[in-house]
Chains A and B, each alone.
Chain A
Amino acid sequence: MSNLLLFPILIPLLFAIVLMFFPKNVSLQRSTAIAGAAATLIAAITLLVKVQNDGVQAITLGSWPAPFGISMVSDLLSVLLVLSASLITFFVILYSIPTIGEARERSFYYSGIMFLLVGVNGAFTTGDIFNLFVFVEVLLMSSYMLIVHGGEKPQLRESIKYLLVNIISSALFVSAVAYLYSVTGTLNMADLAVKIPQIESTGILTLIAVMFLVVFGFKASIFPLYFWLPGSYYAPPTPILALFGALLTKVGVYAIMRTYTLFFTMNTGFTHELLAIVSILTILAGCIGALAYFDVKKIIIYNIIIAVGVILFGVSQLNEAGINGSIFYLVHDMLIKAALFFLVGIVAVIFGTTNLREMGGLMKTYPFLGWVYLIAAFGLAGIPPLSGFPGKLLIVQGGFEGPHFWGSIIILATSLLVLLSAMRIFIYAFWGEPRETMPLEKTTYRRMLIPSVVLVIITIVLGVGAEMFMPLIQGAGEVLLNPSIYIDAVLKE
């Protein structure tokens, strides 16, 4: 069935619309949202099997021939990301039920999450640069609604800044699309990949490539453009924070990956060198932030920025090890960030604060939570049997094979700082003198813990069974390194 690749977009869209009809019936809202997320997950898994067996899936909407209609393309990279996004959304909904509060659930909370999933899945699947803009706006609009949902004072204050930054980056996106259209005369990504190598004056294309780096850098929070992220992500409650931290920046990372491997390859000496330098600076800036704060949420938020830098460094190397490492690390990072935000959210609820200095001694009362957090922290830093290791190993190898061996050395050194920042939460919150805790009901605790633990188990499986997942990662990397596979799949019809 050729429409299969649209299902991960259409199913959440349908459920989001249905969810808007009965906002006051909380239990029905919950079960419908869970059903919608589960159906999306099943569609994504089916699509993964299909793409794995039959190669890149492409469809041009309305049966127009390829460069004229809107193409939707599902290669292994995009289907892996769609699968991770659907999985995380499913767990976020499970985690939201005990934590978000009925007042929020009554005012279209689950609709917002479903629309966010529509935007994310659409942005991962589209094969048209303007359609990418539209899907990015869909997910941004849902994220505006979710970031201010509840209307507390810090949320109102921070969402103004979040909105302003994203309006500016969207206007730049439209301008960049305008320049690209005037130079090439097409918007279809596969057609762009055919036309761009035929253009002889590469100066203007390099300019457009840098403009797209700025646009997607705003979304992905790369070095000079990450200033909005720590404040904005601090404002919303934990489940929304987990959703944002796991999905939103990764859309920007994916867009940079796609454009910088598919069509902006005419002047790699400049553009990819720039990307490598910027990603190293991103890692350093994130490390400074992660070590500077004594706040559990802030520490993990700055770790998002570090991971974006690590992934983009792998992309900038343009060799097999670097690209494969980036894809593995991208999937790992989406899962581990969601799991860490979940666990840190439980810790914050138990103490009633996010300040590390007011925490201590949780290991005596909640030993299981402590061990799960320790495993997640080791996974984040990349300790060998866990999921952070294979991706980072390949990225470092890619750096040593490429021209930027110093970048690999910085990534290895900063891994220690990542471990230090995550372990500091463990040392302050779980060791030491027991501090006063807020009473937490056993059932609420269990309902918060189960999604977190399952997510951590999935990352362990991803790490221990890395050999099993490598064919998928290599298949995804092959399409990125050989754009002709992508072009043939779209334009042959």
Chain B
Amino acid sequence: MEIIMSVVIGFLFMAAVYLMLSKSLIRIIIGTGLLSHGAHLLLLTMGGLGGMAPPVVADGVSVADYADPLPQALILTAIVISFAVTSFFLVLAYRAYQELGTDNMNLMRGTEDYE
């Protein structure tokens, strides 16, 4: 199971890198979404996929059967953080499109302001 998950996560990372190297800003943001999905699934997988019972104390479940609760808490934290950052990024992209009139990263170099 961990092997399959690793391959899927690898594919997500690959797709994220491909999208983030493109010119269009919205593709880049989709890429960051895929990247954080990959990172969260990696966190879940690396915690180990043994243990079938959800980590809620219940009668008749031995300790070995519970899923590891720590990675789940870490993922929950990472999800809300990446959610906040993504929403900020989307609003920033919208404002940048209004002000700069482009979503093409090649046109956002701005070297003329430097020298």
Which residues does A use to contact B, with CB under 8 Å? 130, 133-134, 137, 141, 144-145, 148, 151, 153-154, 156-161, 163-164, 167-168, 170-172, 174-175, 177-179, 181-182, 187, 231, 234, 293-295, 298, 355
Contact = CB atoms under 8 A, between A and B. Distances in A.
Given A134-B77, A159-B92, 10 more contacts: A130-B77, A144-B85, A156-B92, A167-B35, A167-B89, A170-B81, A175-B43, A178-B39, A181-B70, A187-B70
B39 A160 contact: no
8 contacts: A130-B77, A137-B81, A157-B108, A158-B110, A171-B35, A171-B36, A174-B40, A181-B70
Nearest to A181: B46
B96 A160 contact: yes
B95 A151 contact: yes
A163 B99 contact: no
B25 to A, nearest CB: 7
A160 B36 contact: no
A230 to B, nearest CB: 9
B88 interface: yes
Contacts of B77: 130, 134
A133 B74 CA distance: 10
B84 interface: yes
Q: Tell me what chain B mostly uses at the interface: helix, strand, loop, or mixed.
A: helix
A10 to B, nearest CB: 20
The 4 closest A-B pairs by CB, nearest first: A182-B46, A178-B46, A174-B39, A178-B43
B52 interface: no
Contact of A160 (B40, B84, B93, B115): B93
Interface residues of B, number: 38
Nearest to A167: B32
B78 interface: yes
B69 to A, nearest CB: 12
Nearest to B25: A160
Given A130-B74, A160-B108, A167-B85, A148 B92 contact: yes
Nearest to B17: A168
A163 B88 contact: yes
Interface string B28-61: 1000100110111011011110000000000000
B99 A156 contact: yes
B46 A174 contact: no
A167 B84 CA distance: 11
A157 B32 contact: no
A179 B9 CA distance: 13
Given A167-B85, A168-B35, A156 B46 contact: no
Contacts of B70: 181, 187
Contacts of B96: 156-157, 160
A175 B74 CA distance: 11
Contacts of B35: 167-168, 171
Nearest to B71: A181
